[in-house]
Amino acid sequence: MRRNFLLPMFLVLLLTACAGASDQRNGESESSETEGPPRPNIIFILTDDQRFDALGYAGNDIIHTPAMDKLAEDGVYFRNALVSSPICTASRASIFTGLYERTHRYTFRSDQVGQEYMEQSYPVLLNGAGYYTGFIGKFHLKYPRVARLFDHYEGFYVGEEPEELGYFDKELNGETVHLTRYTGQKALDFIETVPRDRPFALSLNFNAPHADDAEDLQFFWPEETEHLYQDIEMPAPLLGEDEYFNRLPAAVREGVNRERWYWRFDTPEKYQRSVKGYYRMVSGIDLEIAKIREKLVETGLADNTVIILLGDNGFFLGERQLAGKWLMYDNSIRVPLIIYDPRAAMHRDVDDIALNIDVTATIVDLAGIDVPAGYHGESLLPVVWGRADSLSRDAVLIEHLWEIENIPPSEGVRTHDWKYLRYVRDTAHEELYDLRADPHESRNLAGDPGHEETLAELRAKLEEMIERYSGGSHQGTPHQDTPRQGETYQPAPH
């Protein structure tokens, strides 16, 4: 379906002709709310730790995600969507601000996300342009003015601190429900009651399928998905053999990725329960997405409401005998991304790399606001609308810069066909992968004499991007961190 260009162009021409607007993408024809076609409502669904292939449409024939698959079939599916930083907090800071972590320097347990960056965040821009803005779910940034970012705000999330939740700590109508059900219901209530005199933008941040790290069993799913995967044996992870683990640098082999592998995957029983649990949690979100789409039809809003689905980072399900994320492998950085714009009424699969920070620019663009020059991502709307066949850049920066003892920070460059990565504390450890021939990143070509040129080229590209994106004005990130209470950051006994 990729590059199906002529038909979408025809549809776009027809639509814009009907609307009497030559280019509503840049908002030039929409300087006031009384002119031009109505601006769309936007529902931006962010899932937590959903990796790219935890989605039926991505080719996973085990996971049950019919509503997400339908969304992909109705809209535009980005098969090479990546996050610039594979950790909840830094990725979310990037998604709000449109900036690489290298610039905003905000990650887990940083002091506060920089006010100067939040001033150009998409909720602020949309609010200023007359949108009614809502937020439901896991916000996860330290930002004291959060309630002022949105017209409607209800934040909550699963965590280990006393004030944080488990998955069964919320009630609806006096009954305890899974947090995914609760989150979905809040979205349905929002859609029902949102003011109709202006467009709305709802950020809906599900906490699932993130593990509950305070609990031994880690994965908790809604009762409605308990029946799924019961009689299935989950296939063993790719690259699960010892040799792939042994090739990793000591800092990874002895770090949190390994510790959590013991929590989740180190026996066949644990592996089966954890992967099924993770899938059931994704399937739980899927049920809510189905209800949201029904509600949009019921309320008459479906034809003018754009739905975006994005994962905030990938997830290891035992590959390389690891768990968690944080590293530069595709398991960690590759996520689902679907953009369904009912006005475009077209489907396509896009192969170009799309980034989490492109979604920021896309949301702003959808609202008819000029994308700020300072944003690092680019709007995906030209591709979604069939006005462009591809995005203008190929190489993207990938990085995890949190300075914590047992997760080695790393950085790299990803292009459509290649990946270069290295560890910040030991830049001599380099890895190079030819993703066309080796999509699972099993053969490191960094020491291969036949690939010296590519290695040098990508290394230079990384240096250039580091230079370009360093030096943000906010340097509030504590340089060194200590383990949280209850976390030893040491591998559990074998």
| Minimum distance of Ca ion from residue 461's CB (angstroms) | 27
Q: Per the structure block, which two tokens stand in for 179?
A: 């947090």
Given the complex with Ca ion, which of 138 and 170 has the nearer CB atom? Answer: 138
Q: How far is CA 461 from CA 374, 395, 469, in A?
A: 20, 8, 12
- Stretch binding Ca ion (CB under 5 A), from 40-48, 103-111, 286-294, 366-374: 40-48
Taking the least distance from each CB to Ca ion, the nearer of 89 and 379 is: 89
Q: Is 49 in the site for Ca ion (CB under 5 A)?
A: yes
18, 39, 53, 123, 186 from 132: Cα distances, Å = 27, 12, 33, 9, 16
Nearest distance in Å: CB 304, Ca ion = 30
Query: In terms of CB distance, is 200 or 316 closer to Ca ion?
Result: 316
What values do phi and psi take at 34, rounded to 5? -95, -5
Shortest distance in whole angstroms from residue 162 CB to Ca ion? 22
Q: What is the DSSP string of 119-138?
A: TTSHHHHHHHTT-EEEEEE-
Phi-psi region of 173 (alpha: psi -120 to 50; beta: other; left: phi over 0): left
Both tokens of 417, joined, read 């066909």
Strand 410-414 and strand 152-155: the pairing is unpaired
Site residues for Ca ion, 128-147, by CB under 5 A, read none
Q: How far is the CB of 312 from Ca ion (least distance, A)?
A: 4
CA distance 63 to 221: 14
- Residue 83 or residue 129: which is nearer to Ca ion going by CB? 83
Q: How far is CA 346 from the centre of its chain?
A: 23
Query: d(Cα 288, Cα 207) in Å, to the nearest integer?
Result: 13
Nearer to Ca ion, 123 or 209 (CB): 209
By CB under 5 A, which span of 83-91, 145-153, 188-196, 296-304 interacts with Ca ion? Answer: 83-91
Smallest distance, Ca ion to C-beta of residue 452, A: 36
User: Which residue, judged by CB position, is nearest to Ca ion in the bound state?
Assistant: 88
In the complex, minimum distance from the CB of residue 157 to Ca ion, in angstroms, rounded to a whole number: 10
The neighbouring-strand residues paired with 400 are 410
Smallest gap, in angstroms, from Cβ of residue 46 to Ca ion?
9
**Closer to Ca ion by Cβ: residue 48 or 74:** 48
Q: Is 341 in the site for Ca ion (CB under 5 A)?
A: no
Angle between helices 268-298 and 256-264 (to 10 degrees): 90
Would you state the structure tokens that stand for residue 341, as one six-digit string?
């714009």
Q: How many CB atoms lie within 10 A of CB 237?
A: 19
Beta bridge partners of 172: 175
CB of 282 to Ca ion, least distance (A): 13
Cβ proximity of 29 and 23 under 8 Å:
yes
Among 72, 76, 88, 354, binds Ca ion (CB under 5 A): 88
Q: Cβ neighbours of residue 381 under 8 Å, at least 6 residues apart?
A: 25, 341, 362, 365, 366, 387
Total number of residues that touch Ca ion (CB under 5 A): 5
Among 30, 48, 101, 319, binds Ca ion (CB under 5 A): 48
> Measured from the CB atom, is 140 or 419 closer to Ca ion?
140
Q: What is d(CA 385, CA 164) in angstroms, rounded to the nearest whole number?
A: 41
Number of H helices, E strands in the chain: 16, 16
**Closest distance between Ca ion and the C-beta of residue 378, in Å?**
23
Residues 281-340 that bind Ca ion (CB under 5 A): 312-313
**Smallest distance, Ca ion to C-beta of residue 91, A:** 7
Check residue 207 for interaction with Ca ion (CB under 5 A). no
Chain residues 211-270 in contact with Ca ion, contact rule CB under 5 A: none
Please name the amino acid found at residue 295: K
| Residue 121 or 356 having the CB closest to Ca ion | 356
Interaction site with Ca ion (CB under 5 A):
48-49, 88, 312-313
